[in-house]
Structure 1
Amino acid sequence: MTTSYELAHPLFAEALRERGLDVEVRRFPDETRTAQQAAQAIGCQVAEIVKSLVFAADGVPVLVLMDGSSRVDVESVRRELGAGEVTRADARVVRETTGYAIGGVPPFGHRTATRVLADRGLLGHAVVWAAAGDPHTVFALDPATLIAQAGGVLVDVRERTA
């Protein structure tokens, strides 16, 4: 693992500079594409990983920020947005919308302005880790700042287990 602000994807590094955020970006030799892979590489709990997931609400991309140990309740997202249909966006839409490939999408610093929903459960952690623009890089930030930087609206869209 190596650490440096400049190890982030160039688009994300620019977003960090524009926001004046001083975060440490960590690069790992192995991919951290999944929450489990990221948690193992970092040495944290899976719930401390932020998944940046792109959905399409009536065809319009929306980003959902969710902790790594939970699943998104798509019906809750649909209700929250007042949409007729919500589906997972395909890889092409994710890249066109965010500028990043699936597995490396950060919570902010995207190519286009996208509506962001952040699950309230993220606030249960002192620090969370998110992708820094590619499947080998991550950064840490307190969840309230991360959500604010993403322009996220706090919602409850976590899938509930019986």
Structure 2
Amino acid sequence: MSALQPDMRHPGIERVADALAEAGHHDSAEGIRVLADAVRTAAEAAAALGIEPGAIANSLLFRAEYAGQARPLLVLTSGAHRADVDLLIALTGADAIKRGTPEFVREHTGQVIGGVSPVGHPAPIDTLVDVDLEGYAAVWAAAGHPHAVYPTTFAGLVELTGGTPARVAR
């Protein structure tokens, strides 16, 4: 794995580093890795890091509909599987849940698809954290840019996001 220049600065990465540091997760903030190639999928991230795809925490932003009102829902799911929309509806009580469009994702996270971090958003987002991530001593999440990732833990993700642990796949 070859990294870009260590002094590479990007506003998305800096927002994530600041959010991690402000939350007291200094090891995660200092562990941000900027990779030579974009890692927009769990498989790409796992290959770049030399780990199992299941240890990748995919940040998926959904558009949840409640009585005609759309709200963002962040689902942090293990890269070993896909989130099940029917389970998400049952967990949240939403009338419908759809993948967020690129515009919806950027509006609510300030980040682009493929680089959405669990943290560093303009406002808090309701979050579900896949309990399957608990099986890994370390998990890796996007750091606000498709080239950047950081290490954390399942408990760290729950704490950082104020998320609810849940089974999000069948």
Q: What pairs up with 1:48-127 in 2 under 5 angstroms?
A: 48-58=55-65, 59-127=70-138
Separation of aligned partners in 2, 1:144 and 1:13: 18
**Deviation of residue 17 (structure 1)?**
2.2
Q: Answer whether contact 1:5 1:13 (CA < 8 A) is retained.
A: no
The answer as to 2:149 corresponding to 1:148 is no
Separation of aligned partners in 2, 1:106 and 1:51: 9
Gaps of 5+ in 1: none
Secondary structure of residue in 2 paired with 1:2:
coil
Q: What pairs up with 1:10-29 in 2 under 5 angstroms?
A: 10-22=14-26, 23=28, 24-29=31-36
What whole-Å deviation, never above 9, does each CA across 1:104-125 have from its counterpart, x for those lacking one?
A: 0111221121100111111111
Q: Answer whether contact 1:5 1:25 (CA < 8 A) is retained.
A: no
What whole-Å deviation, never above 9, does each CA across 1:6-63 have from its counterpart, x for those lacking one?
A: 8671211221221122220111111111111100100000000000000111021110
Separation of aligned partners in 1, 2:7 and 2:84: 34
**Deviation of residue 5 (structure 1)?**
9.7
Look up the match of 1:36: 43
TM-score (norm. length: structure 2): 0.88
TM-score (norm. length: structure 1): 0.92
- From the superposition, tell whether residues 26 and 122 of structure 1 become closer, same or farther in structure 2 (CA, over 3 Å): same
Task: Give the count of matched residue pairs.
Answer: 159
Secondary structure of residue in 2 paired with 1:63:
strand
